Structure 1
Amino acid sequence: MGHFLLQRLSLLLVALLAASAAIFGVLDVLPGNAAQVLMGPDADPQAVAALAAELGLDQPILQRYGQWLGGVLTGDLGLSYAYSTPVAELLLERLAVTVPLAVLAMALCTAWAFAAGLYAAARHRRWDALVVMGLVQLGMAVPSFWLAIGLIWLFSIQLPWLAAGGFPGWTVAEGGGLWPALQALLLPALALAVVQGAILARTLRSALLEVLHEDFVRTARAKGLSYRQVLWRHALRNAMIPVLTVMGLQFANLLAGAIVIENVFQLPGLGRLLFQAIANRDLIVVRNGVLLLAALVILVNFVVDILYALIDPRLQGHPR
């Protein structure tokens, strides 16, 4: 297990380095000038050049990349061009919304996916299982932003139970608290969870049905175990490898792909910050924010690899 962990950690570090180089290179070749955007189209060229020099935009690309990477390693991410605030503070502030949103959405997604997937597998080819899979198919077809608008119409306008947007904060000092904050995240998390949960439910059902045709399942049935006992004790564990793969990808998508939902519900999360930073051409925020998202995605994949090895120790000696 130690060799397996060391190998995966090495791959994680290589992936992070490659991601940082790709992010910096892609953003560096974009047309336009951040100094010109900050000072306006009618600014004096000498003033624009002076601001560009102050921001370090006139230095060679390798020098700027080295300085940025060194700042990332030491925690100094620089100042935002648009907000004149340390980028690290901005990102941490927005992560306090995005990460709980993704976790809540993943919890809802997993709950309804396992309920639907297990039920459909246990009642395979029966009419009620077909109804469940029809609802799953419908969930896969509904866009998250459209569902978000529908949830606002139902639960904020027709049934004024929840707020249509905004975030009160996690503490009473901010004007909110734990319960008001969770209420504010419930509708956006539900909008994200329905589509992802439908995909996961379909994957789980397919994996279970495939495992249920294996020889060891027939042996367990021959020993007198019921279909339900075989499903829970034997089939589910062996079906978790493809399910974990999808769950890892989904959690990464929830972290990186919540930008639309955060804008629909006016949530001050990382996705909305990146959207505003792109509009303001605040490249230092975009660069560090995208790297943070990439690091979270790579870390999620690392955790999934570890879970693979715990579920099936045979995978410790073989690359995925």
Structure 2
Amino acid sequence: MPLFVLRRLLSFVLTLLATSVVVFAVLELLPGNAAQVILGETATPESIAAMEDKLGLNQPAAARYLQWLGGMLNGQSGMSISYDTPTAQLMAERMQVTLPLAVMAMGLTVALALALGIYAASQQNKAGDVGVMTLSQLGLALPNFWLAILLILLFAVHLEWVSAGGFPGWSPEDGGGIGEGIKALLLPAMALAAVQTAILTRVTRSAVLDTLREDFVRTARAKGLSRRQVLWRHVLRNAMIPVLTVMGLQFGNLITSAIVIENVFVLPGIGRLIFQAIANRDLIVVRDVVMLLAALVILINFLIDVLYALIDPRLKVGHAG
């Protein structure tokens, strides 16, 4: 087990390093002069030179990459041009909205998808199975931004149960609170969770059906266990490997999908930050936010790999051999 985790940790570090190279290189290859874009067409050569010096564009690309990498390792981030604030501070403030939103959406996805997927598998080719698969197909076809607009029309405009957008904050000093914050994120979480629930439901159903055909299931039934006992005690755990893989990918997707949903609900999250940074040509913020999102996705996949070994002992035995 320690060797398995060590290998995954080494892979995590190397993937993160390769990602940083790609992110930096892509922004370097963008056409045009960043200083010229920020200052506009009427900027003088002197002001452009001063901006290039402020952005560090007068240094070689390799030196700027190493400086950026060293700053991240030392906990020192770049300075946003449009906000005149360290990017780490901006991202920390915005992640207080985006991360709870993604966690809420993931919680809804897992709770609904596991229940629906197991139910559909237990009712294979019956009315319940057909109904769940029809709903999941409908969920796959719905764009989350369009569903978000429908939710606003229903719950905010017609029923007036929640506000149509905005975020009051997590503390009473900001005019909000825990309850108000959760209430403000409920509709965005539902909009994000709809498509992911449809995907995970179908994966769960398929994984459970494949496991139900295994020999150990017939043995457990022959020993006198009921179908429900076999399903929850033995089948579900063995079916979780493909389900966990999709869950890890989905959580990263939920964070990145927030770029659209946060703009629909006017939430001050990381998605709205990167949208505004792109509009303002603030490449320093864009670079650091993209790197943060990529690091989160890689970290989630690393944690999923570790969970594999905890769920499936065969992985530990194989790597030990």
TMscore range, shorter length: over 0.9
- 2:167 and 2:184 in contact (8 A); partners too: yes
> The residue matched to 2:77 in structure 1 has which SS?
coil
- 1:245 and 1:304 in contact (8 A); partners too: yes
TM value normalised by structure 1: 0.97
Q: Distance in 1 between matches of 2:111 and 2:153?
A: 24
| Aligned match of 1:305 | 305
Please list the CA deviations of residues 41-93 of structure 1 after superposition, one character each: whole Å capped at 9, or x if unmatched. Answer: 21112211122122211110000001110111111112101111111100100
| Aligned match of 2:185 | 185
Mind listing any 5+ residue stretches in structure 2 that lack a counterpart? Answer: none
Please list the CA deviations of residues 78-127 of structure 1 after superposition, one character each: whole Å capped at 9, or x if unmatched. Answer: 21011111111001001111100000000001111011111111112211
Deviation at 1:318, TM superposition (A): 4.5
Deviation at 1:129, TM superposition (A): 2.2
Q: Distance in 1 between matches of 2:244 and 2:167?
A: 31
Q: Distance in 1 between matches of 2:286 and 2:54?
A: 19
* Number of positions where the alignment pairs a residue of Structure 1 with one of Structure 2: 319
Deviation at 1:302, TM superposition (A): 0.6
One-letter code aligned to 1:305: D
| Aligned match of 2:126 | 126
> The residue matched to 2:106 in structure 1 has which SS?
helix
| Aligned match of 1:244 | 244
Deviation at 1:13, TM superposition (A): 0.6
> The residue matched to 2:169 in structure 1 has which SS?
coil
| Aligned match of 2:61 | 61
| Aligned match of 1:215 | 215
- 1:248 and 1:300 in contact (8 A); partners too: yes
Deviation at 1:314, TM superposition (A): 1.6
Q: Distance in 1 between matches of 2:86 and 2:34?
A: 17
- 1:166 and 1:184 in contact (8 A); partners too: yes
Please identify runs of 4+ aligned residues in structure 1 that moved more than 4 A: none
One-letter code aligned to 1:248: G
- 2:80 and 2:285 in contact (8 A); partners too: yes
- 1:38 and 1:82 in contact (8 A); partners too: no
| Aligned match of 1:259 | 259
Mind listing any 5+ residue stretches in structure 1 that lack a counterpart? Answer: none
Residue 155 (structure 2) pairs with residue 137 (structure 1): no
| Aligned match of 2:46 | 46
One-letter code aligned to 1:210: D
TM value normalised by structure 2: 0.97
- 1:148 and 1:188 in contact (8 A); partners too: yes
**Bigger shift: residues 16-25 or 50-59:** 50-59
Q: Distance in 2 between matches of 1:306 and 1:294?
A: 19
One-letter code aligned to 2:216: F
Deviation at 1:315, TM superposition (A): 1.2
- 1:101 and 1:185 in contact (8 A); partners too: yes
One-letter code aligned to 1:286: V
Q: Distance in 1 between matches of 2:128 and 2:11?
A: 45
Deviation at 1:271, TM superposition (A): 1.0
**Bigger shift: residues 28-37 or 134-143:** 28-37
> The residue matched to 2:281 in structure 1 has which SS?
coil
- 2:147 and 2:191 in contact (8 A); partners too: yes
**Bigger shift: residues 94-103 or 42-51:** 42-51
> The residue matched to 1:161 in structure 2 has which SS?
coil
Deviation at 1:34, TM superposition (A): 2.5
Residue 169 (structure 2) pairs with residue 169 (structure 1): yes
- 2:263 and 2:272 in contact (8 A); partners too: yes
> The residue matched to 2:301 in structure 1 has which SS?
helix
One-letter code aligned to 2:36: Q
Q: Distance in 2 between matches of 1:145 and 1:105?
A: 14
Q: Distance in 1 between matches of 2:217 and 2:54?
A: 68
One-letter code aligned to 2:155: F
One-letter code aligned to 1:244: L
Q: Distance in 2 between matches of 1:29 and 1:107?
A: 39
| Aligned match of 2:155 | 155
- 2:192 and 2:257 in contact (8 A); partners too: no
- 1:37 and 1:280 in contact (8 A); partners too: no
Please list the CA deviations of residues 141-187 of structure 1 after superposition, one character each: whole Å capped at 9, or x if unmatched. Answer: 11101110100000001110011111111111111111111011000
Superposition pairs of residues 87-102 of structure 1, within 5 angstroms: 87-102=87-102
Cα RMSD of the aligned pairs, angstroms, is 1.2
Q: Distance in 1 between matches of 2:18 and 2:235?
A: 38
| Aligned match of 2:76 | 76
Query: Percent of pairs identical after alignment?
Result: 63
| Aligned match of 1:13 | 13
Q: Distance in 1 between matches of 2:277 and 2:313?
A: 44
Q: Distance in 1 between matches of 2:200 and 2:250?
A: 9
- 1:169 and 1:175 in contact (8 A); partners too: yes
- 1:211 and 1:238 in contact (8 A); partners too: yes
**Bigger shift: residues 223-232 or 175-184:** 223-232
